[in-house]
Every structure is written in C-alpha cells, then in structure tokens.
A and B are shown apart, each in its own frame.
Chain A
Amino acid sequence: MAGKSPVTIKGVKEGLVFLLDDQCSFDELLQELDAKLAKHEQHLIGPIIHIFVKLGSRQLQEDELEQLRQTFRKQGNLVIQSIESDAHPPDLAGAALMTHTGIVRSGQTLEYRGHLLLLGDVNPGGIVRCTGDIYVLGSLRGIAHAGSEGDECAIIAASYMRPTQLRIADVISRPPDEWVSPEPWMEYAFLREGRMEIDKLSSLGRHRLAVKEFKGV
C-alpha cells in the first residue's frame, strides 16, 4: 500500500467520486477513508457535496455498507448519492442446468440459480426467472427473466417465442405489438450493447463462442 492510497477522491461536475480500492481489507479501507476525510476536513465543510462511491469489484454486506455510510456521515455536508460495485458476472461457467418439466401457469413463478431448461410452456401471467440462461422447449408466452443477478451475457431461447415481456439482467423489453408471422425456427433473445435483440437460435454460435467448444473437430 506504499505507493497508492486505497482511497482516491476525484472531483466531477456533480460532486465528488470516491474510488475505493478493492484489494485491501475492509477495515483498512475504513481507517484510510476516515483519515482522509479528517485530513480534508477544511475542504469538506460548507455547501452540500454529492458524493458517488465506487467500490470496484468489492461486494459489501448490508452491515458493512452501513459502516461505510457512518464514516461519511461524520462529515455533515457529504450526501451519498450512490454506492456501486462493478457488476461482476456471476460465475456460471460450471453452473448446473436444471431441467423442469411442466407448464408455468398464470400466477406461478419458477425461480432458479443457474441455467434452466423448461420442458413445457410458460403461459401468459407466468414468470420464469433465473441467474443464467433460460431455454424453453415449448411456448414462451409469459415473462422470462434471464441473468436476474446482472449477467448481461445470459440468453432466453424458446421453441415458440411469444413472450409478454423479456428481461435480461436489468434490460426490460417487450415484443412489438404485432408479430408479423410465426417463425418456424427456434429463437433466442440476447443483449447487444445494452439493447435486446432476437435472432434465430442457429446464430447463437456467432456471438457465443463457448457453444462451439462442444463440437468435435
């Protein structure tokens, strides 16, 4: 920690950004933050300053977040606008694929951590939600939410894609009001630069290389 302080403060138009190191221990971070705030006390009085806290890849529990807020509260004019961690993609490489058979009917919710293969339909009013991919071997007429914990690489595939709503990570999309004609191929939804797109399943290999690895030579 000799060269670089765990706490870096940057001024931006909206206020101050606190970049907190994500490698050191949390206690060390708090001490350093406290020291830094005390050092700059004279600068940090006066009008209200909005601050944005960036934690890097560090994920904090609720009580740790509270400690962090307490530290900032010692300075009366600091107002925390946001505390953010980098959305780190959940490690789904080895995640289990759960197979579920049956119909998800109106009012029912099917939730799972990992990837989900549904052998059956999702009816309007039914919700399927999981942290990984969703593959529906049947009609998807309800809501599907893939990558529910922020994995933007998740996809939603269905034999018959007529959803009321599709969600991947934080992106919510609904299909156009009029579907031109039922496509005779399986389709999947994915995110490209934050926008939801639908393509036929045979194109999946083009944007997801991992799929190709299963193939023989």
Chain B
Amino acid sequence: MDEIQSLLHGFGVALTLKNLLLMFTGIILGVIIGVLPGLGGANGVAILLPLTFSMAQQPGGATSAIILLSCIYWGALFGGAITSILFNIPGEPWSVATTFDGYPLAQQGRAGSALTAAFTSSFVGALVAVIVITFLSPIVANFALAFGPPEFFAVYLLTFCAFIGTSKEPPFKTLASMMLGFALAAVGTDPVTGTLRLTFGFTRLLTGFDFLVAVIGLFGIGEILLTLEEGLAFKGASAKLNMKVVLETWKELPKYWLTSVRSSVVGCFMGIVPGGATPASFMSYGVARRFSRDGDAFGTGKIEGVVAPETAAHAAGTAALLPMITLGVPGSPTAAVLLGGLMIWGLQPGPLLFVEQKDFVWGLIASMYLGNIAGLIVVLTCVPLFAAILRVPFSVIAPIIMVVCAIGAYTIHNSIFDVWMMVVFGIAGYLFKKLQYPLAPMVLAIVLGDATEASFRQAMLVSQGDMSIFFSKPLVGSLTSLALLLLFWPLISAAIGRLRRG
C-alpha cells in the first residue's frame, strides 16, 4: 500500500496554515466565479493563473499554487449548483441538468433541501473520483513511463477522436473547431525544426497564440455577450439553509445510494476519457430517470434528479485531472488550464511527475480531499451570501467581469496585444456558441497541438514514414483502433440505426 503512505506524506505537504488559507481563499473565489455569469471554472482559473507566478518561484510554491487553482476549480463546480437551483440559470454548462429538478424544488419552497442534496452529492462524486485518482494514477503513470512517441500520439488521437464520438454538436463543426485550434497552435515557431510558420510576416505572431487568452475570450467575453441577449435581470428564489434542513436532507439521501454509485461511475469514466463533466451530468440524469422507481416524476422536483447530475458532474470534473497529471493530457478545458499552469511553473506534466515531483503530486492529491471538505463546509454555510451576488445588477457586475478578464489576459505575458486578442476570441466564442461549434475541443487542440505534432513527427522519424507504426505493438495498436472507432462513431451509430429500422 505505497499509495496510502504517499498520500499521508501528501497530507503533510498540504496541511500547512498557508496552504489551508489558500484552500479556503480558492474555494470562496471559485464559488463566486461559478455563480457569476461569464466566469466559469476554465476562464476563472485562467484569469487567476498569473497570480501564482511569483508564488510558484518559492520552494514548495508550486504545490501552494496548484492548491489555490484546483480549489478555485472545486469551488466553481460547487457554485454552479447554486444558480441552477435558485435562479434556474445554470452557472456552468454541467449544471444544466441540475435545473431540471432543482428549480422546481426551489419553487416548492424546498430550495434548502435541493441545495443540500446538490452539495452533498457533489462532495460524494468528488470523493469517489479522488479515491480513483489516488489508487489508479500511480499505476497509469508507471505504465506510461514506457510510452514512446507513437504511444503518446495514439493517446492524443484518442483524446481528440473522443470529442467527435461523444459530442452532441454536429461532427463536422466539432472537427472544424478542433482543427482551428491546431492551426492556432501551429502559429509561431515549429517545435521540431524551429521554422517560422503561419505568421504571415506579423512579428506579434512570432510567439504564437496563448491558449489562456483564448480561454478567457471564448468562455468569458463570449459568455457575457450571450447572457446579455437574455436581458439584464435575474429573478430567483431565496434560500434559507439551516442545520435542520441540512440534517433532514442528509437523512433522506442514503435512499439514493444506488443512483450515487451509478452516477459516480458514469462521472469518473467520462472524466478520464475526455468527455467532460457536461455530458456526464446529462447522461447520469438520463440513466437515473430510466432506472428510478418514480422516473416519470423526474422534472417535477425530485431530490434524486438533483443527486444524479451533481454527483456525475463533480466526479467527472475531478477525474479529468487523472489523465492531466499522469499523461499530461487534460480531460477538460479547466484541466487544460491547470496543465498550462504546471508548464508555466516549470513542471513537466506527464508520468515523470510521479517520480521527480512526489511532493507536488501527492500534495495535490491530498489537497483534493481537503479542498472538497472545505468546499462542502463553505457552501453549506454561505449560500445566502453567494446568492446575494447574483442580485447585484448586471450593469455593475458585467463591466467588472470584463475588467477582470482584461487584467487576466494582460498579466499572462504583460501584453496589450493579448487583451485585443481576448476581445476577438470573445466575438468568436459568441458566434461559435450560437452556431453550435463546441469550444472545448478547440481549447484542448491549442494546448496539445505542439505536443501532438511533435509526437507524430518523432514517430514518423522512428518508422521512416511508415504509418503502420501506430499499429506495430498491441498497446499502441489498440489505442489507435479505439480512437478510430470513436472518430467514426457518428457514422457507425447512424448505420446501426438504419439497419435496425430497415
């Protein structure tokens, strides 16, 4: 049981006064970010990433920095549920499914129970995922130590093909948006030969596009523009959360243990295979409705209908960090931003992290346990406070969010040009969202573009241009086959559907 020992060591790293303080700061900031329109997990973390630059320089600072940022992420995951239940506005895409039963509950005056159920199941989902991370990630990392360029390319291929196979958006739009991400990643210096590419003579483009700027623009500015269309006012139910309601709901929750287990499994799976928290929450809601005894009553205000999507979303959001720390392949946009942070702090994400940066990795994993406990405490005690933020008029909160986004974009490289790019990405984000071009594959492509290309070219060098290298060994062969299966899944499932009907 090496993991237990490493984990205990990790708790030693994470449990300092400074780190605990950062944990609570992160959670509170994260919940605020999750509650506010236009700020979400991914761009919230991206905006606050520059804050950690000087912090990460100190010894042990990288651990503190990742604790702060990952806690912002947990906070945002918790925060999404507040707006869904009280205001019927999903603060985050993964809490859309929570509105189905959460908002009716609030209208019936049971907002307290709905919130307690949501927070508790978020916590349970996260806990299951952290346990999975604790025991599975050392194995995956150890396994991945033997990976060469072909294996890494196959993993990247699998990541991107999974988007096409699992996303609800039209496959060609997913493909277009993903390839645009690759094209943006290719701008600047070629990672292998150092040749300048796609700069068209603009010196500004020599360093390429930073995906953090893209994240802030696409998810931040784009989201605010979308919110504006819906009008400027939020109307919501009020929330009173006292110990009595909490305890009563907790007494009711064990009834739904089977739903929790199912949702955690769905969530962990969707998080590790890059599907992400959003599809996981919908899938888990659908599964719960099908299997529940009173599935027909879903949508009218059932606690079970809150438990299912929240457990899955939080499990997926947490599990998305597993491929990030073990392989250097993030499972979600927020995990991608955290990965970007790691690289900026000078840590090389991937299997070697478990060998060379034990303190960092196990400190992070231990902080996941602590951060989620801290998160549960914060949200259960401070709901009215966070709900009050949404009552601040939009004409005050919108410009402040814009300013925060601009500061975030500027501070990444101290460049005004990045602020302009943020506005451009914002317009793109608005158009893409409205026309159903998914943003997540684009962001992941910008992050992983160079690494994907480098691993492909290295593999080609090894094989002297022979593509069969991607099928040369059982491991790389099965990864590639799985990737191709997912890539053509839309076609395959259409064919199966036609066969059944015909």
A binds B: no
A residues whose Cβ falls under 8 Å from a Cβ of B: none
